Amino acid sequence: MGLRRLRVHMAGAVQGVGFRPFVYRLASELDLKGWVLNSGSGLVIEAEGPEDTLEQFLVRLETERPRASVVLAREVSVLEPAGYASFEIRRSDEQEEKTVSLLPDLATCPDCLRELNDPADRRYRYPFTNCTACGPRYTIILDIPYDRPRTTMRDFQMCPDCLREYTDPADRRFHAQPNACPVCGPRVWIETAANPSVTAALPPDRDPIRAAAEALRAGRIVALKGIGGFQLLVDARNEEAVARLRRLKQREEKPFALMAPTLDCIRQCAEVSDAEERLLRSPAAPIVLLRPHENHPLAPNVAQSSPYLGFMLPYSPLHHLLMEECGFPIVATSGNLTDEPIAIGNQEARARLGGIADLFLMHDRPVARPCDDSVARVSRGRESVLRRARGYAPLPVLVRRRLPAVLAVGGHLKNTVAIAVGRQVYLSQHVGDLDTAEARRAFVRAIEDLCRLYRFQPELVACDLHPDYASTHWAQSSGLPVYAVQHHHAHVASCAAENDLEGEYLGVGWDGTGFGLDGSVWGGEFFLVQDGKFERVAHLRPFRLPGGEAAVKEGWRVSASLCFETFGPDAVEKPTLLRMLERGVNSPWSTSVGRLFDAIAALAGVARTNRFEGQAAMQLERAIGRIRTEDCYPLDEKDGVADWRPLIRAVQYDVGKRVSAGLISARFHNTLAAWIVRVARRTGVRQVALSGGVFQNSYLTERAAALLEQAGIRVATHQRVPANDGGLALGQAVIAGQAFSGGF
């Protein structure tokens, strides 16, 4: 077993309860090296040792921790060894800002679940059961300090029994701000979309949750008000119901999230490893991307474009009760039209979702802010978050150096915002794409939320270099000093920051679109990074995107462009497209690996268009299936520029020979992984950071990492922060903050 270093961040009642001495004794017993300290937002541990010993350490941290402690959230990052000589209790940084204890929303704990299912308990089948170890947090807080009058529970006066629990230090509901019961708390009901202004008339013996389950079983669409907003639900086995939801939600092919009543139900549909099971059962309870079985019982149109099924388990009492009644997997997608933020208010949902849902499963506990379900997967044996929202936000990321008060406003797609407080960077929940007015209003609310809740006064705003992003426009109008960060610089800095990279490293920034320093569209970049300075040392040979934005959605245009450059004008069938390429009209230059994926997908006959971002790349990865080969295509490199023309010739040759799309895809992926290794060897670096949306591709990420590690090179991939544009704000905060404080 090789040596590894774990960084563990714990939030909750973890200070003043003997936690640091406990960690010290446990680490000493296991002969681990490192340190433990109290931070402004909880407890931080770094432990270094053999992988199997670190696994024991994590288990015993949970099972043997001090009795008075309450661990409400835990995030673990796997890092390379730092060479610690011993284990010590470090003094807290006296200069570190003390931050308010804002916690994410937590999945129902085992104790509350037992009460929920106990007919003798006063909270039997009560949909809002919670305690200090579980329940809503971030989505109910209105202001600090976090107490009931400053949450959306302020209008629910506790009954004598609940008040007794709330004020008893020995009770597990001591100061549980959402504490409630059927006597004094929120209630749930059913409404019909045809008559949304009044509660639907139900016989006295009808349970609204059972009524919702019956509607799902009958093929209806149900809008459920969850913890962070509304979800749209249908029976995931019913192809016609799924197709109707797609049509009404205007979501043609993008995969739907799924919820199953039990882990056994998920196992009937997909492969679940031990690590994936832990992730599914974790307090964050995210959607986890899993490999599907060939003959699963789900409708084929739930995730037809993806190599994965995205499953989650019930995470609130309401979900547990509904799934118990259903007994089958359901689609559980965001309550919105495509490209809009999710609905959170009852009246808002009636107005925005009334044309989609047949029934509403409503409740009267207000939601303070929208918070989507998080998405994660297991990659390289560790957790990797692809959308950071419920269960994770707003936990901080600890960075190596103290930063000034930077507000980072992210990019235009998959937007998140962040604030830097000392060595901690707090990321907002996933905001989404900023294409609509509603989304831009949600973006502004996310900024106001973070600044208000943390009493944060920004000194500087960091934004993307792209002049036309809505987030950039907001930064320029803020009245504060603005520091624009190149898109791919931010990507690799984000990965380096969360992986605690120190010294020189090679940053690989691959995605679909990013505004380059030369004004072209970048996306296939290598940077040699030292002391915060970025030197572009390699990239793809530029090619044209005929039609500009049209080429982003229509990969066949990119394939035509590459064939034009490789084989000449006769390779382009459409005269209009040929004229655009010959004259360079509305055909910007690009070095994007994401667009190269689109072109290969079109040439291989896998996908000619993108109905949603990354669709063709997903389908190209999916085509590999269980094919395993070491074969690569040629990709010539000279003076740091990789010439893709030999690759295109080889792909076209294979297409002519009727080589399977899966084998073409595997060879293409292998080619890109081998290119990363060649550049790393040429530059002589010992550390590589892989970032950008392309590295959501599991096959590419794992193959590149394996080859780099075989070459003795340390590999950093994303864990707690998304590789896609949802991670930009962290990189922006680090780069701008260090530049502003003279760190470069």
Q: Annotate 120-163 with DSSP letters as a single string.
A: TSTTTT-TT--BTTBB-STTTB-SSS-SGGGBTTTTSPPPHHHH
Residue type, 62: E
In order along the chain (744 residues), what is the average pLDDT of each group of 10 residues? 87 76 92 89 90 93 81 86 92 59 88 97 97 92 88 97 92 91 97 61 69 97 97 98 96 95 98 96 95 95 92 98 98 91 96 96 97 96 95 90 96 97 93 94 96 94 97 97 98 96 96 96 97 95 96 96 96 92 94 98 96 94 95 95 98 97 98 98 97 97 97 96 98 95 62
What is the pLDDT, as a whole number, of residue 48? 96
DSSP assignments along 342-398, one per residue: PP-SHHHHHHHHTTT-SEEEEESS--SS--PPPEEEEETTEEEEEE--TTTTT-EEE
- Dist. CA 730–CA 540, nearest whole Å: 26
Buried b (16+ CB within 10 A) or exposed e, 162-194: beebbeeeeeebbbbbbbbbbeebbebebbebe
Ordered structural domains, the chain, with CATH:
3-89 (3.30.70.100), 99-186 (3.90.870.30), 188-363 (3.90.870.40), 394-499+725-740 (3.30.420.360), 508-716 (3.30.420.40)
Do the Cβ atoms of 464 and 516 come closer than 8 Å?
Answer: no
What is the pLDDT, as a whole number, of residue 741? 79
**H or E element that contains 290:** strand 287-290
Segment 107-114 long-range contacts (CB within 8 Å, at least 24 positions apart): 107/134, 107/282, 107/283, 107/284, 107/285, 107/313, 107/315, 107/316, 107/391, 108/134, 108/135, 108/314, 108/315, 108/316, 108/317, 108/320, 109/133, 109/134, 109/283, 111/172, 112/317, 113/317, 113/320
> What are the counts of helices (DSSP H) followed by strands (DSSP E) for the chain?
22, 29
Residue 390, φ and ψ in degrees, nearest 5: -55, 135
- Dist. CA 459–CA 740, nearest whole Å: 10
What is the pLDDT, as a whole number, of residue 694? 98
Do the Cβ atoms of 311 and 259 come closer than 8 Å?
Answer: yes
What is the pLDDT, as a whole number, of residue 97? 55
The helix-helix angle for 208-217 and 317-326 (nearest 10°) equals: 50
What is the DSSP code (8-state) at residue 725? G
Do the Cβ atoms of 514 and 523 come closer than 8 Å?
Answer: yes
What is the pLDDT, as a whole number, of residue 328? 98
* Burial classification of residue 638, based on how many CB atoms lie within 10 Å of its CB (0-12 exposed, 13-18 middle, 19 or more buried): exposed
Residues 6 or more apart in contact with residue 421 via CB below 8 angstroms: 40, 97, 99, 396, 405, 454, 456
What is the SS3 assignment for 274? Answer: helix
**H or E element that contains 72:** strand 70-79
Least Cα distance to 635 among 645, 626, 620 occurs for: 645
**H or E element that contains 333:** strand 330-334
What is the pLDDT, as a whole number, of residue 61? 92
- Dist. CA 550–CA 303, nearest whole Å: 24
